[in-house]
A and B are shown apart, each in its own frame.
Chain A
Amino acid sequence: MKKYLKIALLIAYIALVFLPLVQVVQMSFLTTVSAASSQQPVFTWLNYYHLFTSPTLGAAFFNSITYVLLNICLTIPVALPAAYAFSRYSFIGDKHLFLAFLAFRVTPPVVLALPMFKIFSLIGLINTPFGIALAHCLFTIPVSIWILESFINAIPKQLDENAFLDGYSLPRFYYEILLPLLAPGIGVAAFFCFLFSWVEVVFARILTVTNGKPITMAIDALFGFSTDMGLVMAVIVASVIPGMVMFYFVRNHIASGFTIGGQ
């Protein structure tokens, strides 16, 4: 009996999550008609055809994917040693450092958007995917450190000690022992980098003035005097797909153990 209750709860929740999305998918296959006309919307593939043939939308997708991948490439190599340090060493000020990282994770982009724009325009990073990737490090690095730290905590410390006794240097231990063991953790951290970078809007907007517009801005740009809602919905559907692909790769590790502080 209790088992059925659980299943009912899960189905109800998933249904509620999916209802707005079902409407999005439905509208993406319908023609857009203006409210004034008496026409009924009919089934069409045209929205997806427009999506795939539009050069601006294609470029926007390319830009988004570029900065998200750049962000992952920036974040993981930097977060990994820091996570290792937090997991294994206690050093002067480690608690405060962790606190500072956490504070940056929860600082909303609006607070730092203006000076970020000034600084990035000084060093010529406006309108480049690299600029957005760097800006998004503000929250992806702290999140990745936290995730990787909990994955490193799950690895017994004897492993490090034995490796060092066997004469491994720290970098060699990293590449030959720690990295292969941490592959799931790195996957999950990369997924969370993707998650927070792909959906972010404030930095992505302020750092792309004329060029390098990401998909989020391309969707905004579709709105006008007469908006083709069908096309908007098709773009929304397409914008979720890369995330689903990422999720598929880490599906078995995503729930395999976030802990906090080495418990």
Chain B
Amino acid sequence: MIKKTDHSNGWILASPAILILSIVGLIPLLTVINYSFFDIFILDKRYWIGLEWYQELMQSPRFWASLGRSLLFSTCILAIQLPLGILIALAIPKRGIWVPICLMTMSVPLLIPWNVIPIIWLNYLRLDTGFLGQFLSFFGLDFDWKFNPIHTWLALILMDVWHWTSLVILLAYSSLSTIPTAYYQAAAIDRASRWQIFRYIELPKMSGILLMAILLRFMDSLMIYTEAFGINSGGPQNATLFLGIDLGEQIKAFDYGPSAARSVIYFIIILFIVWAFKTALNHQKSGGTR
């Protein structure tokens, strides 16, 4: 652990970053908060209505349903991507020519523009020409992502796993590669089992990075918009209407007031989760020093 010096220079060094993030983050956020208290028809003509939008949103079953759906989706995503990512990261060799080849081939989905992901998957899932669709229909499965809500969910989860597991792999692998070989030698001398090596050496070393991976994957899937909208626009019958899709549609309709109130509530959810993450990280740091 590096001992840090007390230095007020920190703020000066961080100030350029703070300046840019104020322009692109803080000011838009304050603007949104401001909008959320008004009924806006056109921006020059607006009426103060206080907390009305918030009350409306809090009482709308549609909001709570989409929050529930998003939480369920994120939970599924984490439950699959995290173990799978760790497993694959453990399977990649520690060094050699195959390491960059493995990482590079696995990372291809990360490099694809997000609006293209659903295009690729809708093609892939086509029952007549798509590889996966043909495979499924060969086994007599009538995969109907358009009208069967369970199938839409499966398609979305599969797509997201395909798209983002590589990020978990990259992060997990890079933290694994920082473990000195002496640790493994010591474990071999102690005749530690594979599970014990994972549990007492690898997992503690990875925990910080894994928390970061959890935060990134949880938040990005909670607020999924572009990819999910491309598959079925929130359908069938709102079965995949997530938080992001609901907001995106309201913004497209130029519903300034309600969409601003919704944005503020989303931001509060985000802040809460980031705060919980930071607390977990500090706890893990103070408890896990070895």
Contacts and interface: CB of A to CB of B under 8 A. Distances in A.
Nearest to B7: A89
* B interface: dominant SS: helix
A181 interface: no
Given A112-B25, A199-B111, A101 B17 contact: yes
B208 A261 contact: yes
B238 interface: no
Interface in B83-110: 87-88, 90-92, 99-100, 102-110
Contacts of A108: 219-220, 223, 225, 244, 266
B277 to A, nearest CB: 8
Interface residues of A, number: 96
Given A85-B13, A89-B4, A23 B131 contact: yes
Contacts of A93: 11
Contacts of B110: 195, 199, 243
A246 B198 CA distance: 33
A100 B278 CA distance: 11
A19 B135 CA distance: 12
A247 B170 CA distance: 12
Contact of B105 (A18, A74, A104, A200): A18
B189 interface: no
B29 A89 contact: no
A215 interface: yes
A144 B215 CA distance: 16
Given A6-B91, A106-B216, A255 B31 contact: no
A107 B267 contact: yes
A200 B108 contact: no
A17 interface: yes
B185 to A, nearest CB: 18
B59 interface: no
A199 B120 CA distance: 14
A134 B105 contact: no
A224 B86 CA distance: 42
B75 interface: no
B106 A119 contact: no
A135 B28 CA distance: 11
B187 interface: no
Contacts of B266: 108, 111
Contact of A17 (B27, B132, B166, B225): B166
A91 interface: yes
A255 B174 contact: yes
B186 interface: no
The size bracket of the interface on B is: 35 or more
A68 B131 CA distance: 33
A90 B32 contact: no
A256 interface: yes
Interface string A65-105: 00000000010011101101111111111110111111111
B24 A138 contact: yes
Given A87-B2, A244-B108, A20 B9 contact: no
A9 B93 CA distance: 12
Query: Which residue, A20, A113, A244, A254, has most C-beta atoms of chain B within 10 A?
Result: A20
Given A17-B106, A258-B171, A236 B116 contact: yes
B201 interface: no
A193 interface: no
B162 A16 contact: yes
B104 A251 contact: yes
Contacts of A78: 16-17, 20
A21 B178 CA distance: 32
Contacts of A262: 1-2, 4
Given A95-B278, A115-B28, A239-B112, A247 B104 contact: yes
Interface in A1-57: 6-7, 9-10, 13-14, 16-24, 27
B110 to A, nearest CB: 6
Interface of A: 6-7, 9-10, 13-14, 16-24, 27, 74, 77-79, 81-82, 84-95, 97-108, 110-116, 118-119, 134-135, 137-138, 141-142, 145-146, 153, 157, 195, 198-202, 215-216, 219-220, 229, 232, 236, 239-240, 243-244, 247-248, 251-252, 254-263
20 contacts: A9-B88, A14-B105, A20-B124, A22-B131, A23-B123, A23-B124, A81-B13, A82-B18, A108-B219, A111-B247, A111-B263, A112-B32, A119-B27, A137-B24, A198-B113, A247-B104, A251-B100, A256-B177, A257-B175, A262-B1
Given A102-B215, A157-B2, A254-B100, 10 more contacts: A22-B131, A79-B17, A82-B14, A90-B7, A118-B43, A134-B23, A199-B112, A220-B115, A247-B104, A255-B177
Nearest first, the 8 A-B pairs at minimum CB distance are A243-B111, A91-B10, A108-B223, A115-B31, A260-B208, A106-B219, A85-B13, A251-B100
